[in-house]
Amino acid sequence: MSRLRRVRGEFVAASRSFLRRRTAVFFTFVFPFLIVLIFGVLVGTQPTGGGLFAEPVGWYVPGYLAVVVLFTPLSRVGSEVARHREGNRFEKLATTPLSRVEWLLAGTLVNVVVIGAAGLFLLALLVGLTGVSPPLSPALLLLVPFVVLGVALFCGVGALLGALADSQDGVIAASNTVALPLLFLSETFVPRSLLPAWLPTELSPLTYFSRGVRAVTYTGEGTGVGDPGAMLAVLAVLAAVTLAVGARALPTTD
Amino acid sequence: MTAIVAEDVSRAYGDTVAVDGVSLSVAEGEVFGLVGPNGAGKTTLVRALVGTTDAEGRAELFGQDPRAVARERVGLLPQSFDPPARLTARELLAYYASLYDDHRPVDRVLDDVGMAGDADTHYENLSGGQQRRTCVATALVNDPDLLVLDEPTTGIDPAGRRQLWDLLSTRAEAGTTVLVTTHYMEEAQRLADRVGLLTDGSLLAVDTPDRLVAEHGGDALLRVQLTGDDGGEATPTGLPDLGYPVERRDGRLTVRGVPPEAVGSVADRLSAAGVGYDSLAWTEPDLEDVYLELTGQRVVKGEAVAEEAVV
Residue B303 has pLDDT above 70, yes or no: no
Distances in Å between the Cα of B56 and the Cα atoms of B12, B35, B43, B64, B150 are 9, 21, 15, 16, 21
Angle between helices A143-164 and A205-217 (to 10 degrees): 160
| Assembly ipTM | 0.89
Is the confidence at residue B239, as pLDDT, over 80?
Answer: no
- Asked if domains B2-207 and B216-294 share a fold, the reply is no
With contacts defined as CB-CB under 8 Å, which chain A residues touch B134?
none
**Of the given ranges (B35-39, B78-82, B198-202, B294-298), which has the lowest mean pLDDT?**
B294-298
Q: Does A48 touch chain B (CB under 8 A)?
A: no
Instruction: Give dist(CA A86, CA B81) in Å, integer.
Output: 9
Which letter does DSSP use for residue A54 in this model?
A: -
Task: Indicate yes or no: CB of A92 within 8 angstroms of CB of B101.
Answer: no
Contact A88 B80 (CB under 8 A): yes
Quick: pLDDT tens for A23-63: 988 888 888 888 888 887 887 666 565 556 778 888 999 99
Q: What's the CATH code, domain B216-294?
A: 3.30.70
Residue B135, pLDDT > 90, answer yes
Mean pLDDT over B288-295 rounds to 85
Size of interface A-B (CB pairs under 8 A): 88
Among B residues 20-79, those touching chain A with beta carbons less than 8 Å apart: 44, 47, 50-54, 71-72, 74-79
d(CA B96, CA B100): 8
pLDDT exceeds 70 at position B60? yes
Short-list B173, B112, B166, CA closest to B139: B112
Model pLDDT, residue B275 = 85
Query: Residue B85's pLDDT is what?
Result: 94
pLDDT of B107 above 70:
yes
Which residues on chain B are in Cβ contact (under 8 Å) with A97?
A: 71-72, 99-101
CB contact under 8 A, A89 and B100: no
Domain over B2-207 is classified CATH 3.40.50.300: yes
For A99-144, how does the pLDDT look when each residue is reduced to its tens digit (9 = 90+)? Answer: 999 999 999 999 999 999 999 999 999 999 888 888 888 999 999 9
Q: In this model, does residue B251 exceed pLDDT 90?
A: no
Residues of chain B neighbouring A2 (CB-CB closer than 8 A): 101
Q: Report the sign of the C-alpha dihedral through residues B122, B76, B137, B92, in that order.
A: positive
Rounded Cα gap, residues B263 and B274, in angstroms: 17
CB contact under 8 A, A92 and B99: no
Query: Is residue B17 classed exposed, middle or buried when 0-12, 13-18 and 19+ CB atoms within 10 A define those classes?
Result: middle
Radius of gyration for the alpha carbons in chain A, expressed in angstroms and rounded: 18
B198 SS3 class: strand
Tell me if B152 sits within 8 A of B188, measured CB to CB. Answer: no
Q: Taking CB atoms and an 8 Å limit, are A97 and B101 in contact across chains?
A: yes
What are the structural domain ranges in chain B? 2-207, 216-294
- Choose the mutation target among A19, A92, A110, A253 for the interface with B, i.e. most B CBs under 10 Å: A92
Closest approach of chain B CAs to the CA of A164, in angstroms? 18
Amino acid at B226: L
What DSSP state is assigned to residue A1? Answer: -
User: Domain extents for chain A?
Assistant: 2-191+198-249
The percentage of residues in chain A with a pLDDT greater than 90, rounded to a whole number, is 63
Residue B265 to residue B275: CA distance in whole angstroms: 14
Which residue in chain B has the smallest CA separation from A21? B86
Query: Alpha helices, DSSP H only, in A87-227?
Result: 89-93, 100-125, 143-164, 168-184, 205-217
Q: What is the pLDDT of residue B305?
A: 45
Interval B90-115 mean pLDDT: 95
3-state secondary structure of B148: strand
Single pTM value for the model: 0.86
DSSP track, A210-252? HHHHHHHH--SS-S----HHHHHHHHHHHHHHHHHHHHHHS-S
pLDDT at B308: 35
Q: Which of A146, A114, A123, A139 is nearest to A235 (CA)?
A: A146
Cβ pair A253:B54 closer than 8 A = yes
The length of chain B in residues reads 311
Phi, psi of A213 (to 5 degrees): -65, -40
Residues of B in contact with A22 (CB under 8 A): none
Cα separation, A189 vs B29, in Å, equals 65
pLDDT in tens, A69-87: 999 999 999 999 999 999 9
Contact B293, B240 (CB under 8 A): no
Decide if pLDDT at A178 tops 50. Answer: yes
**Taking a C-beta distance cutoff of 8 angstroms, is the pair A73, A158 a contact?**
yes
| Mean per-residue pLDDT of chain A | 90
Identify the pLDDT of residue B164: 86
